[in-house]
Chain A
Amino acid sequence: MRNILSRLHDLARISAVTAAITFSAAAHGLEPVSLPSTEAVVAFVVTSNGVDSPVTVPELEALGLYRVTTESPWEVGDLTFEGVLFSDVVAYLGLGDATALRIRALDDYAQEVPRDDWVDKPLILATRQDGEPLTRRTQGPSRLVYPLSEYPGYEPTVQDDRWVWLIRRIERVD
């Protein structure tokens, strides 16, 4: 009896560590992909203290691309996107301590995304759709994708509004 219990304990420990390591990678059906890099188009600018710093698509994609297939509240059918983990982007931009980020689109549509949405969650900043880089006309160069199919923890209605595309600027709220 004692033996079984100690073995169960060992298993649990190992799984936890593995999970921590592999979460960011393949948790929740996120599939890492490797694609040839594209033109150095500016995805968006990061504004801090009134200073706009442009961020390019290759910069973003270097953080690690993942493929995700999901439904969208704004479009019909299952859509396949390739993009980077938003939490990786936040870390790269040095905004990891922000409580929320304001994401503004080209037509001035803006949404405040709370850190709950990206911390330990598979929120994706998509740069390609079906392998093709996103352009302005395809709601790019980057757009926020909530993988609803993979992560039922996301609340519809609230998150629906946060599918910002045609992203122009990211800045911290606080």
Chain B
Amino acid sequence: MSIRPFPRWLAPFASAGLAAALSAAMVVGIYSTLNQIEKVLPDFGFFSIRELNLAIQDVSHLQDMVTLARLAPEQAESAEHLAEANDLAYVRFIRQDQTPMIRGYPGYGPAVERTRAVVDTLDGVLSEGRPLAVHDLGQVGEELAAIKAEMIEAYYAFGYRTNADLATIQRRLGALNLQTAIVLSVLSALAIGVAVLLVNRHRTLLEMRQLAWSDSLTGLRNRAWLQSNAAAVLRNAAASQRQVALFLIDVDRFKEVNDTFGHEAGDTILRTVGRLLIAVGERNGAQAIRLGGDEFAILLPESSPPVIERVLGELSESMDGHVDIEGAQVRMSASVGIAHFPEHGSDLDALLRCADYALYEAKARGGAGNVLFSPEIASHIQDQLRLDAAIRHAIQFNELFLVWQPQYELASGRLSGVEALVHWRDPATRKAVPSTDFIPAAEKSELILEIDRFVLTEACRQAAAWAASVPESFTFSVNISARHLQRPELVDHVRQMLRESGLEPARLELEITESAFIEDRQLALDVLQQLRTDGVRIALDDFGTGYSSLSYLVDFDVTRVKIDRSFIADLMVSSEKRSVVKLIMALAHSLDLEVIAEGVESSEQVAFLMQLKCRYAQGALLSQPLGATAMTHLLSAERWVTPELIEGARRILAA
């Protein structure tokens, strides 16, 4: 047997129904009892008892006078007394008989007729004069005795019945009292019960709402709260012409910390962040929210530039720093994206989107900073996203391919190596898009890693295929993004590529742009060190334009320096640039580094470089980048073709 649980929502209705039924029963009970009492009451009255009493008295008195007259029938007094008593009987039973009140008495009816008859008889006896007829008097006496007995009996019966009625009424009233008391108690209990249920329900609903709106880990409000309550906040702000600010706060590199130190540590960090945000919120009249994962928000209902400044200040003060996790000092920071109502959006979704863009931008800028949304950011990010999608697509559908830029040894004029450049064949236009058009954008995201990996894989493969056709000193250069240097897995990938392709490590040169910012120098150093140990060459690209050129040279153990094209371009017109190039050359020679000049365009430049003993050069005008097939042909040609510019330089120098 299964027991169906009583549905809770039914409880108030069931109670109400029960209450109504009980009330109805009580009303019916009271009504019927009072009805019964009412029926009994007319018989219950002092007047009726008294009247009956007096009637019996009159009959009794008449009987006595009749007895007296019988004993002294010739006495005038006897007749007088008898007449008087008879008159009294007349008044009560005949004259007064018209009163409905008296007529209503039980047992009184028959007595009236018989007494009337007696009165008439006595009238007759008295009219005959003295001595009074004793025989008739005797009969009348007996008759009066009988009447009296009957009346007394009726009187007693009436009394008994009245008593019984009273007792019944008393009982019924008692029962009614009890019933009423019970019903009222039950009703009160029901009322209280329903009230408690309702209050409880209300309170439970409130609690449930609070629970539904709070985040279990940190105690902050959760996304659901924001979804439910933001509209009201915005409405109020609109009504009072105030600004509302939404801060989106993301803990930087939370995933890495979580992976490294475990989920407990991660949770601790989240809780700490939650506490900090609550404090910031309380100080500034804002609500701290955990949206999920490591994403937090602060909703500031009455915001103004100074308040925003203050909040940002407090955020950076409390959120940027070091956290002690298992004895290790881990640097923690947060990125913040801010959007305003009504400027940046008129509802929560719009605000979230804008703040999200701003947050994305803050992350892209390296983290530990805050960005205020602007439409430019949105369009910029949208472009970025579009490009990312396009690149992802390109990678997936093999729309990327490599072209090769020849590098020449100036002295001999022969090919010394090639640099791999990645192009994208746009399927729509079937035109090749050069790397300069999409690599910079790709570098802003993780996609550059994918591109790098593709290039590495493809270049190694291709290089291995060409290896047989070229001298041992021939180098194959591949560009690696600075972001990639932060990834220890780069080493593994390079090793794997070398292994799979069978390419000699010394033939592979990795080019790193010196201008790129390296966040974790030590990590980069480790990576490069390992690669150098394997025998791979390292070239510093765009040399002269970057940050700490000299320390890079030393620390990163490079093998070659590539002079940036900006110096080469103005070589003939700017003496400063010529001086700088000379310096670079001297520096490189003293450190025993190779030098290659980029962007060589004229024989004069070549001649100058040859004079400075710059060993290598590359440039579009020296030779265009070639596709794999063309390069294969070039490499397998019997004779190396000396480029025109070098021939020209020789001529200049010879002159």
Contacts and interface: CB of A to CB of B under 8 A. Distances in A.
A75 B58 contact: no
A37 interface: no
Interface in A102-126: 106-107, 109
Interface string A117-142: 00000000000000000001111000
Contacts of A166: 88, 91
A75 B84 contact: no
A75 B57 CA distance: 21
B54 A137 contact: no
Contacts of B95: 137-139
Interface in A145-164: none
Contact of A76 (B57, B58, B90, B99): B99
Contacts of A137: 87, 90-91, 95
A107 B54 contact: yes
A74 B96 contact: yes
B582 interface: no
Contact of B54 (A74, A76, A109, A139): A109
B98 A136 contact: no
A31 to B, nearest CB: 26
Contact of B57 (A107, A138, A139): A107
Contacts of A165: 91
A88 B88 CA distance: 28
A173 B61 CA distance: 27
Interface in A56-108: 74-76, 106-107
Contacts of B61: 107
A136 B58 CA distance: 14
A138 B91 CA distance: 7
A12 B98 CA distance: 48
Interface string B49-72: 000001001100100000000000
B63 to A, nearest CB: 14
Interface in B544-569: none
A107 B65 CA distance: 13
A107 B58 contact: yes
A69 B58 CA distance: 29
B104 to A, nearest CB: 14
A109 B88 CA distance: 12
A136 B54 contact: no
A136 B119 CA distance: 14
A106 B89 CA distance: 11
A168 to B, nearest CB: 10
Nearest to A107: B88
Nearest to B94: A137
Nearest to A165: B91
Given A137-B87, A137-B91, A75 B99 contact: yes
A116 B57 CA distance: 31
A137 B54 CA distance: 17
Given A107-B58, A107-B61, A166-B91, A136 B84 contact: yes
Given A75-B96, A166-B91, 15 more contacts: A75-B98, A76-B98, A76-B100, A106-B84, A106-B87, A107-B57, A107-B58, A109-B54, A136-B84, A136-B88, A136-B91, A137-B87, A139-B91, A165-B91, A166-B88
Interface of A: 74-76, 106-107, 109, 136-139, 165-166
